């Protein structure tokens, strides 16, 4: 592929996993972890008595007797359990103006926070502050706001159910539903789209279903990096000769072949197992047309079969008894021409008919999907077309079949279940009233985009963040940064320093908390928390390591501290709840009856599953039916006119969202750098450019509609196996190209994965490194 030598760019020929993975873990551990802690932490992760891996939300197999090796899980654990510390003395010597110059990688790389810190403007430094003083000042500022709706309460998906429940309780008693959440940037299209289709906003499959399916479709997700333990599941399926169809604009090694570190014979012989049996390089944003093409092909095959008196292709009995809207869908599919489908999907009719054939031949199909589906202008519609496809053959609510959204953060799904939502329903409000005797606010609050817009416009003046790195994760880097600096109050509950903490408000606090891996002792002894994975399994997690500093406190304790200081007449006995997390779980059960017998069930090995009605063909829609939903795709959001290209933003192998563990992206052949853009060689040639050239990238279309010219400069073009017309770069480097206003209208999810751009040879000085920036046109 690489005809010219470009520093740090090479072909990676090896399969995913294998020795490369083992070497990478050794490296990650060597840099971050005290040797004594290493074995301890790794051996208790995802074990019945241990802690839940803070990596991804892929479930654990039932019999977790042996540690399931996962390179990126090991990185997540070692990153948290690092021996490095960032102490008050360091802050005293390094003013915020100096810290700002450090890279995101370097900032988190300083290590674990050790003390609660408050910003002091006179010295431009963060200074240690006692917990009670921090709480007092935070409470005072929150009480001083004229309206509780002028404060935003962000949640990142690592928070446990117990922490998230107390947080939403505090915020609702304070009086607002402003709950921007990382899920607004992630699977909101699933949470909004699926209930309209199937009445449940969660995946319908269990891990066991993969043992029974006859075909798997993997659309827009990259498990080799983001859900590595899933490769073991896909490997097992492949060994059973189950066809695995991938739809992805890039060729991703983890979806091609895998050497299992768990299987010594594969490791010793260098043998690998194929993952994808068919790899379709769909255009960025081309999933709706591709899925509609598949359904059109199925419909035609069904018409033919029935005309010939053969077995129908569609499950008409299921459609009749369980669904509404089939005729409208069929009409729309018949009217959608193959020309448009081929042009917008980037796939040929032959290819689409071929994969439709694989789908039709299988009696039990699972469709898995990730951010390649949700983070689009049409994210919600993408999700709904996947549901349509499954419903056509009754692939929902029976063994071996169903829909499988791959959630992001390890407890992002659970946080939602226990009340982190800006749009509370009547049951939630009634549950709180019944349990605590106060009436929570009913007016809808802000999601992530609405929160940043409110801050930008001065309508919100305070932000509390339970984890995460909101400003860096959001689109429109410059504008978001500028907005955050206008706040009166910023409070960050965090384990490590990141750039969001350096966006100073009038008063800024960093409150250091225990991580998942650490022992959490409260009045009644050591506590465990609970989390919910992608498949609605709830299980306990108990840290075992000595906390990184004696000043760290648990998230529930910190939330209770802020609540007590903010709400002098609170109806909640915060101290009692924080003293014994069983009592928090009892309250969760009172507010959300779906958690019945919570404490008893979570103590069973492996935990328990929260009911997902659609898994039982109980369609919780107003009509008690699943709905086929039509999505007319239109040229205006999919066309890249003239010399424009469509850019997507993706994760490297050495990152966890905004946390950068290292500068390598092994499976894509990148070493020691992140300033690259993956492009098709023909697209480069057509613009007089070549592999290794430095380019500038300019946003077009909806992302410059407000007259701002969003651009990033000085990135190196890498010729890569990506479909023509599409290109990819890393997140968050690409976020500066996306306008805050440009999101899916149904779910509010930013369009991180379909950014129309123009490129040109770079005019940025070669030694300046890549830049991001916005300027007025
Ligand atoms: N190690 C690690 N694990 C993680 C994370 C991490 O950063 N690091 N993040 C966690 C979180 S919060 C999340 S949400 C998940 C994310 O997990 P993924 O959804 O796998 O994440 P992404 O890297 O965003 O990439 C998705 C894939 O979509 C493809 N893609 C891009 N655009 C399109 C498109 O238009 N159509 C199709 N069909 N495909 C497209 C990309 O090529 C890429 O392979 O992982 C979680 N797990
Ligand atoms: N362009 C582009 N942008 C994206 C995406 C994309 O694909 N492309 N993906 C989006 C997605 S899917 C997501 S989920 C968001 C992620 O957005 P966030 O969830 O806000 O970001 P993270 O990078 O996961 O947050 C990292 C920080 O969390 C803190 N932290 C880590 N562990 C803990 C803990 O146990 N407790 C507490 N309190 N804090 C902790 C640390 O201080 C660390 O610096 O980004 C979104 N942004
Ligand atoms: Mo996510």
Domains of the chain: which residue ranges? Answer: 16-80, 85-186+411-596, 193-405, 640-776
User: Residue 422: its pLDDT value, please?
Assistant: 97
Question: Residue 368: beta bridge partners?
Answer: 218, 404
| R_g of the chain computed on alpha carbons | 25
Residue nearest to atom 13 of ligand 1 (CA): 408
- What is the best residue among 32, 106, 158 to mutate for testing ligand 2's pocket, by most ligand atoms within 8 Å of CB? 158
Residue nearest to atom 4 of ligand 2 (CA): 473
User: Residue 774: its pLDDT value, please?
Assistant: 45
**C-alpha 252: how far from its chain's center?**
18
Pick from 434, 443, 527, 498: which is nearest to 176 by CA?
Answer: 443
Tokens 């009634």 sit on residue: 430
Phi and psi torsions of 449, nearest 5°: -65, -45
Q: Which ligand is nearest to the CA of 221?
A: 1
Instruction: Return the CATH number of the domain spanning residue range 640-776.
Output: 2.40.40.20
User: Residue 2: its pLDDT value, please?
Assistant: 45
User: Residue 777: its pLDDT value, please?
Assistant: 31
Residue nearest to atom 34 of ligand 2 (CA): 515
Contacts by 398-401, CB closer than 8 A, 24 or more apart: 398/364, 398/617, 399/209, 399/212, 399/364, 400/209, 400/210, 400/211, 400/212, 400/213, 400/214, 400/364, 400/366, 401/205, 401/209, 401/213, 401/364, 401/365, 401/366
- Does the predicted model carry a pTM greater than 0.85? yes
Instruction: Return the CATH number of the domain spanning residue range 85-186+411-596.
Output: 3.40.50.740
Ligand 2 contacts CB of residue 543 (under 6 A)? no
User: What's the CA-to-centroid distance between 149 and ligand 3, angstroms?
Assistant: 26
Ligand 2 contacts CB of residue 126 (under 6 A)? no
User: What's the CA-to-centroid distance between 632 and ligand 1, angstroms?
Assistant: 25
- What is the best residue among 408, 410, 413 to mutate for testing ligand 1's pocket, by most ligand atoms within 8 Å of CB? 408
User: Residue 55: its pLDDT value, please?
Assistant: 78
User: Residue 81: its pLDDT value, please?
Assistant: 86
Q: Round to whole Å and give the CA distance between 505 and 488.
A: 5
Helix (H, G, I), strand (E, B) or coil at 642: coil
Examine domains 85-186+411-596 and 640-776 and report if their fold is the same: no
- What is the best residue among 222, 276, 670 to mutate for testing ligand 1's pocket, by most ligand atoms within 8 Å of CB? 222
* Tens of pLDDT, residues 170-207: 999 999 999 999 999 999 999 999 999 999 999 999 99
User: Residue 57: its pLDDT value, please?
Assistant: 81
Hey, what CATH topology would domain 193-405 get? Dimethylsulfoxide Reductase; domain 2 (3.40.228)
User: What's the CA-to-centroid distance between 222 and ligand 1, angstroms?
Assistant: 5
Low-confidence ranges of the chain (pLDDT < 70): 1-4, 19, 22, 25-49, 62-69, 634-638, 767-777
Question: Residue 509: beta bridge partners?
Answer: 118, 491
Task: Determine the atom of ligand 2 nearest the C-alpha atom of 157.
Answer: 19
What is residue 59's DSSP assignment? P
């Amino acid at each position: 592929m690489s005809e010219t030598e470009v520093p740090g760019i090479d072909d990676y020929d090896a399969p995913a996993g294998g020795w490369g993975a083992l070497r990478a873990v050794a490296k990650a551990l060597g840099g971050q972890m005290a040797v004594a802690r290493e074995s301890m932490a790794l051996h208790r992760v995802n074990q019945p008595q241990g802690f839940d891996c803070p990596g991804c939300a892929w479930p654990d197999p039932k019999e977790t007797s042996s540690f399931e090796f996962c390179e990126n899980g090991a990185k997540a654990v070692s990153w948290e359990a690092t021996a490095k510390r960032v102490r008050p003395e360091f802050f005293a010597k390094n003013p915020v103006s100096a810290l700002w110059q450090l890279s995101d990688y370097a900032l988190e790389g300083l290590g674990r926070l050790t003390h609660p810190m408050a910003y002091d403007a006179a010295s431009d430094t963060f200074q240690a502050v006692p917990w009670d003083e921090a709480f007092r000042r935070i409470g005072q500022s929150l009480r001083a706001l004229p309206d509780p709706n002028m404060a935003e309460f962000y949640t990142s998906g690592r928070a446990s159910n117990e922490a998230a429940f107390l947080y939403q309780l505090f915020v609702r008693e304070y009086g607002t539903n402003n709950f921007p959440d990382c899920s607004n940037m992630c699977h909101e299209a699933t949470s909004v789209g699926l209930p309209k289709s199937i009445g449940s906003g969660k995946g319908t499959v269990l891990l066991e279903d993969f043992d029974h399916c006859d075909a798997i479709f993997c659309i827009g997700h990259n498990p080799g990096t983001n859900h590595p333990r899933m490769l073991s599941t896909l490997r097992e399926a492949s060994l059973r000769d189950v066809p695995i169809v991938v739809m992805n604009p890039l060729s991703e090694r983890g979806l091609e072949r895998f050497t299992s570190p768990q299987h010594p014979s594969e490791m010793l012989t260098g043998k690998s197992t194929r993952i994808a049996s068919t790899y379709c390089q769909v255009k960025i944003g081309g999933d709706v047309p591709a899925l509609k093409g598949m359904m059109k092909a199925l419909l035609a095959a069904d018409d033919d079969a029935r005309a010939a008196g053969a077995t129908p292709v569609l499950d008409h009995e299921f459609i009749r008894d369980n669904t509404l809207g089939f005729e409208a869908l069929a009409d729309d599919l018949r009217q959608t021409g193959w020309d448009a489908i081929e042009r917008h999907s980037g796939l040929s009719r032959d290819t689409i008919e071929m994969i439709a054939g694989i789908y039709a031949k299988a009696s039990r199909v699972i469709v898995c999907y990730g951010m390649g589906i949700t983070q689009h202008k049409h994210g919600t519609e993408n999700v709904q077309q996947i549901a349509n496809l499954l419903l056509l053959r009754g692939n929902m609510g029976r063994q071996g079949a169903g829909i499988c959204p791959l959630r992001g953060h390890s407890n992002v799904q659970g946080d939602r279940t226990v009340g982190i939502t800006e749009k509370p329903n009547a049951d939630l409000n009634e549950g709180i009233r019944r349990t605590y005797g106060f009436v929570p606010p009913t007016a809808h609050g802000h999601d992530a985009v609405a929160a940043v817009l409110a801050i930008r416009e001065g309508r919100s003046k305070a932000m509390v963040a339970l984890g995460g790195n909101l400003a860096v994760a959001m689109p429109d880097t410059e504008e978001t940064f500028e907005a955050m600096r206008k706040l009166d109050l910023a409070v960050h509950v965090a384990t490590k320093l990141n750039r969001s903490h350096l966006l100073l408000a009038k008063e800024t606090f960093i409150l250091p908390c225990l991580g998942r891996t650490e022992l959490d002792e409260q009045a009644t002894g050591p506590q465990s928390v609970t989390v919910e994975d992608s498949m609605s399994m709830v299980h306990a997690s108990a840290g075992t390591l000595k906390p990184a500093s004696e000043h760290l406190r648990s998230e529930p304790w910190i939330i209770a501290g802020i609540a007590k200081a903010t709400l002098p007449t609170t109806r909640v006995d915060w101290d009692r709840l924080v003293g014994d997390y069983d009592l928090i779980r009892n309250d969760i059960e009172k507010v959300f009856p779906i958690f019945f017998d919570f404490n008893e069930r979570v103590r069973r090995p492996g935990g328990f599953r929260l009911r997902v009605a659609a898994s039982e063909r109980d369609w919780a829609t107003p009509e008690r039916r699943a709905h086929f939903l039509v999505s007319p795709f239109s040229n205006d959001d999919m066309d890249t006119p003239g010399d424009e290209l469509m850019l997507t933003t993706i994760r490297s192998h050495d990152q966890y969202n905004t946390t950068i563990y290292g500068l390598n992206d092994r499976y894509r052949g990148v070493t020691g750098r992140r300033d690259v853009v993956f492009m098709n060689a023909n697209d480069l040639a057509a613009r007089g450019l070549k592999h290794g050239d430095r380019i500038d990238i300019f946003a077009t279309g909806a992302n410059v509609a407000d007259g701002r010219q969003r651009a990033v400069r000085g990135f190196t073009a890498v010729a890569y196996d990506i479909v023509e017309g599409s290109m990819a770069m890393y997140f968050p480097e690409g976020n500066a190209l996306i306008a805050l206003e440009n999101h899916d209208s149904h779910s509010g999810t930013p369009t991180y994965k379909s950014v129309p751009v123009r490129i040109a040879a770079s005019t940025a000085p070669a030694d300046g490194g890549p830049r991001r920036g916005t300027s007025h046109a």
